[in-house]
Amino acid sequence: MKRILGFLTLMIVAGCLLQASAYASGSLSTGQGISARSAYAMGKALTFQKLVCPSCPLKAADLTKERAMSLKNSLEARDAASKPGTPDDEHIAVLCPGSRASDCDGKPDEQELVHYYLKRRFKM
Q: Is residue 21 part of a domain?
A: no
Q: Is residue 7 part of a domain?
A: no
Q: Is residue 3 part of a domain?
A: no
- Where b means 16+ CB within 10 Å and e means fewer, 30-45 reads eeeebeeeebbebbbe
Q: Is residue 81 part of a domain?
A: yes
Domain count, the chain: 1
pLDDT digits 0-9 by tens, 53-75: 999 989 999 999 999 999 999 99
For the whole prediction, is pTM greater than 0.75? Answer: no
pLDDT reading at 96 higher than 70: yes
pLDDT digits 0-9 by tens, 16-54: 544 443 333 332 233 457 899 999 999 999 999 999 999
Q: What angle do CA 113, 118, 124 make, to 5 degrees?
A: 125
Domain of 114, in residue numbers: 36-121
Q: Is residue 77 part of a domain?
A: yes
Q: Is residue 6 part of a domain?
A: no
Q: Is residue 10 part of a domain?
A: no
Q: Is residue 69 part of a domain?
A: yes
pLDDT reading at 109 higher than 50: yes
The letter for the amino acid at 34 is I
